[in-house]
C-alpha cells in the first residue's frame, strides 16, 4: 500500500515538474540564415553551400524568423567573411523594408541607400591583392516611435499578401530581410561567411491579438482596419484568425483584446541562432546584448562559398566534332572564294 502511494506521489511530483519545465522552457531563439535563393528558401536548418566561378558576381539573401508570437522590431546585423575570397560590393546592401499594402517593416533602415551609406570594410583591390577579409557592419532596420502605426516589424505569421514573407521548405514562415552582392575573387579556396549581432543589438516586441495596425495597442484604429477590409480575401492585415478572410471572428478577436498593449523587450532577452548546425555539435545561441560583433566558438559557417576557376579560352581545346565542322566551313569558304575569283 505504502509502495503504491509513494509511486503515486512520485508520479504527481514528476508531472508537476514537467508542467513547471514546460512553463519555464525558453521560447525558440530568433533565427537568421543565408541562402542564394530569394523566392523559396530552405529553412534555417539546411546547410548553405554555394559554388561560383571566379570573377562572377553573386547575391546573398538573409532570411529571418522571429520568436513565436513576437515580432523583431529592431535588427542590427554584421556579415563577415573569414577568408579573402569574396568582396562585398558597396552600393548593393539592402534592408528590405516594404511589407506591402502601404506598410513598412521598420521606421528606419541603415544600408546602401541611407545617408551616410553602409560601406564594406575592404575594397576589391584589398581583398584580391592584400588578402584582406571583407565585412559589413551594422545592416539595420529599426523603429524608434513606440506607437508607429503601419510599422509591421518582422515576425509572427505572414499576413495575407505580405511582401517578402514566404513559407520556407521546412513549412514555417521566413522573412527576406537583406540582400548583398559580392565579387567572387580568388579561384580555389573556400570562403566561410558568418552573420553576427551588430552593435545596436536586437529587440523583440510581443504581438497582441487584434492589433491589426501593429502599433502595439488594440484600439479603435484596429476596429477601423476590420471595418475597411471586411469581407476581403486579399487585404488580410485584419485577418486575426488567419482563415483567409476578414470576418466577424476577427472583430471578436479585436473586441476580446481591446485595450491590450504589447511588451517591448530589451536586447538581453533576445536569443539568436545563425544558420545550420553543419557539424552536429550544437549551434551556439547568441545573446543580443552581450554577444555583439563576435562569432562564438563552435558556430558553423552560415554560408560556405566555393570559388571555382574560370573557363579560360586558352584552356578550351575544340572537340573533334567542332574541328570537323570547322574544316567543312574552311573548305566551303575556299571553294566560294575560288568561284568568286574565277567569275571576276
If the CB atoms of residues 18 and 149 are measured against Ca ion, the closer one turns out to be 149
Neighbours of 321 (CB within 10 A): 8
Query: Three-state secondary structure along the chain?
Result: CHHHHHHHHHHHHHHHHHHHHHHHCCCCCEEEEEECCCCCCCCCCCCCEEEEECCCEEEEEEEEECCCCEEEEEEEEEEEECCCCEEECCCCCEECCEEECCEECCCEEECCCCCCCCCECCCHHHHHHCCCCCEEEEEEEECCCCCCCCECCEECCCCCCCCCEEECCCCCEEEEEEEEEEEECCCCCEEEEEEEECCCCCEEEECCCCCCCCCCECCHHHHHHHHHHCCCCCCCCCCCCCCCCCCHHHHHHHHHHCCCECCECCHHHCEEEECCCCCCCCCCCEECCCCECCCCCCCCCCEEEEEECCCCHHHCCCCHHHHHHHHHHHHHHHHHHHHHHHHC
Q: Which stretch binds Ca ion (CB under 5 A): 198-206, 240-248, 256-264, 320-328?
A: 240-248
If the CB atoms of residues 137 and 213 are measured against Ca ion, the closer one turns out to be 213
Q: How far is the CB of 215 from Ca ion (least distance, A)?
A: 4
Query: Applying CB under 5 A, does 275 fall inside the site for Ca ion?
Result: yes
Query: Applying CB under 5 A, does 247 fall inside the site for Ca ion?
Result: yes
If the CB atoms of residues 6 and 241 are measured against Ca ion, the closer one turns out to be 241
Q: How far is the CB of 234 from Ca ion (least distance, A)?
A: 13
If the CB atoms of residues 11 and 156 are measured against Ca ion, the closer one turns out to be 156
Report the alpha-carbon distance of residue 97 to residue 105 in Å, rounded. Answer: 5
Query: Applying CB under 5 A, does 274 fall inside the site for Ca ion?
Result: yes
Q: Which stretch binds Ca ion (CB under 5 A): 19-27, 150-158, 162-170, 213-221?
A: 213-221
Residues 47-86 contacting Ca ion, CB under 5 A: none
If the CB atoms of residues 82 and 289 are measured against Ca ion, the closer one turns out to be 82
Q: How far is the CB of 73 from Ca ion (least distance, A)?
A: 14
Tell which one of 120, 143, 229, 295 touches Ca ion (CB under 5 A): 120
Q: How far is the CB of 53 from Ca ion (least distance, A)?
A: 19
Query: Applying CB under 5 A, does 29 fall inside the site for Ca ion?
Result: no
Q: How far is the CB of 133 from Ca ion (least distance, A)?
A: 10
Backbone dihedral angles phi then psi of residue 220, each to the nearest 5 degrees: -65, -30
Binding mask 130-169 for Ca ion (x = CB under 5 A): ----x-----------------------------------
Q: How far is the CB of 171 from Ca ion (least distance, A)?
A: 21
Q: How far is the CB of 167 from Ca ion (least distance, A)?
A: 19
* Site size for Ca ion (CB under 5 A): 18
Q: How far is the CB of 263 from Ca ion (least distance, A)?
A: 14
CB 109 within 8 A of CB 178: no
Q: How far is the CB of 212 from Ca ion (least distance, A)?
A: 6
Query: Applying CB under 5 A, does 243 fall inside the site for Ca ion?
Result: yes
Query: Applying CB under 5 A, does 222 fall inside the site for Ca ion?
Result: yes
Of the candidates 75, 65, 96, 108, which has an alpha carbon nearest to the alpha carbon of residue 203? 75
Query: Applying CB under 5 A, does 87 fall inside the site for Ca ion?
Result: yes
Tell which one of 241, 279, 290, 298 touches Ca ion (CB under 5 A): 241
Q: How far is the CB of 136 from Ca ion (least distance, A)?
A: 8
Residues 278-337 contacting Ca ion, CB under 5 A: 299-300, 302
Report the alpha-carbon distance of residue 208 to residue 193 in Å, rounded. Answer: 36
Strands 49-53 and 303-308: parallel
Residues contacting 126, CB < 8 A, separation 6+: 132
Q: Which positions touch Ca ion (CB under 5 A)?
A: 87-88, 120, 134, 211, 213, 215, 222, 239, 241, 243, 247, 250, 274-275, 299-300, 302
Amino acid at each position: 500500500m505504502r509502495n503504491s502511494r509513494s509511486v503515486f506521489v512520485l508520479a504527481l511530483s514528476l508531472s508537476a515538474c514537467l508542467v513547471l519545465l514546460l512553463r519555464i522552457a525558453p521560447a525558440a531563439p530568433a533565427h537568421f540564415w543565408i541562402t542564394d535563393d530569394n523566392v523559396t528558401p530552405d529553412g534555417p536548418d539546411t546547410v548553405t553551400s554555394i559554388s561560383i566561378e571566379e570573377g562572377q558576381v553573386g547575391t546573398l539573401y538573409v532570411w529571418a524568423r522571429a520568436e513565436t508570437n513576437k515580432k523583431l522590431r529592431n535588427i542590427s546585423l554584421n556579415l563577415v567573411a573569414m577568408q579573402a575570397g569574396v568582396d562585398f560590393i558597396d552600393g548593393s546592401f539592402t534592408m528590405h523594408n516594404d511589407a506591402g499594402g502601404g506598410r513598412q517593416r521598420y521606421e528606419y533602415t541603415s544600408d546602401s541607400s541611407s545617408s551616410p551609406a553602409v560601406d564594406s570594410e575592404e575594397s576589391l583591390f584589398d581583398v584580391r591583392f592584400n588578402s584582406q577579409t571583407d565585412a559589413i557592419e551594422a545592416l539595420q532596420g529599426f523603429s524608434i516611435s513606440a506607437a508607429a502605426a503601419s510599422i509591421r516589424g518582422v515576425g509572427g505569421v505572414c499576413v495575407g499578401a505580405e511582401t517578402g514573407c514566404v513559407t520556407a521548405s521546412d513549412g514555417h514562415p521566413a522573412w527576406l530581410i537583406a540582400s548583398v552582392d559580392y565579387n567572387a575573387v580568388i579561384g580555389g579556396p573556400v570562403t566561410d561567411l558568418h552573420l553576427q549581432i551588430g552593435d545596436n543589438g536586437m529587440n523583440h516586441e510581443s504581438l497582441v491579438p487584434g492589433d491589426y495596425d501593429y502599433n502595439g495597442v488594440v484600439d479603435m484604429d484596429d476596429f477601423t482596419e476590420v471595418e475597411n477590409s471586411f469581407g476581403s480575401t486579399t487585404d488580410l492585415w485584419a485577418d486575426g484568425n488567419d482563415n483567409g478572410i476578414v470576418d466577424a471572428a476577427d472583430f471578436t478577436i479585436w473586441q476580446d483584446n481591446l485595450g491590450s498593449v504589447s511588451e517591448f523587450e530589451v536586447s538581453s532577452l533576445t536569443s539568436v541562432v545563425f544558420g545550420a548546425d553543419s557539424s552536429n555539435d550544437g549551434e551556439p545561441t547568441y545573446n543580443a546584448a552581450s554577444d555583439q560583433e563576435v562569432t562564438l566558438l563552435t558556430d558553423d559557417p552560415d554560408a560556405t562559398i566555393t570559388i571555382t576557376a574560370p573557363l579560360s579560352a586558352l584552356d578550351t581545346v575544340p572537340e573533334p566534332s567542332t574541328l570537323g565542322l570547322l574544316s567543312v566551313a574552311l573548305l566551303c569558304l575556299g571553294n566560294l572564294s575560288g568561284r568568286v575569283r574565277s567569275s571576276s
